[in-house]
């Protein structure tokens, strides 16, 4: 089923260096717990965004914000169940 989502990305620090968390929350509800995945490298997160066809300008903005230690969100992203599985947010 295709659904519109917010994609949220948050940088974090660990003893091994920066990490990047990604979650996708449905814009249609119903709310509740939101799963997330962690990427060890910004390049891995970028590849994940490309795999679901996020526009290049949004990827560029996300990279800039995350590299500066800021969170970044993208609204109105149409995702399928397959897209969520590609991101690691849903079982295939």
Q: What is the pLDDT of residues 14-59, one digit of tens each?
A: 777 779 999 999 888 777 778 899 999 999 999 999 999 999 999 9
**Among the listed residues 63, 36, 29, the one whose alpha carbon sits nearest the alpha carbon of residue 47:** 63
**pLDDT number for residue 80:** 93
* 22 assigned to some structural domain: yes
* 25 assigned to some structural domain: yes
0.85 exceeded by pTM: yes
Mention every residue, 6+ apart, whose C-beta is less than 8 A from residue 52: 77, 79, 83, 86, 87
Is residue 64 over pLDDT 70? yes
Average pLDDT for the chain: 90
What is the rounded distance in angstroms from the CA atom of residue 55 to the CA atom of residue 68? 20
* 11 assigned to some structural domain: yes
* 92 assigned to some structural domain: no
Number of independent structural domains in the chain:
1
Domain that holds residue 38: 3-87
Is residue 92 over pLDDT 70? no
């Amino acid at each position: 089923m295709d659904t519109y989502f917010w994609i949220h990305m948050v940088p974090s620090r660990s003893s091994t260096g920066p990490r990047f968390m990604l979650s996708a929350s449905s814009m249609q509800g119903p709310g509740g717990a939101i799963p997330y995945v962690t990427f060890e490298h910004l390049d891995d997160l970028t590849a994940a965004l490309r795999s679901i066809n996020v526009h290049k300008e949004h990827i560029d903005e996300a990279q800039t914000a995350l590299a500066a230690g800021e969170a970044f969100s993208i609204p109105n992203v149409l995702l399928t169940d397959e897209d969520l599985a590609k991101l690691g947010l849903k079982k295939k």
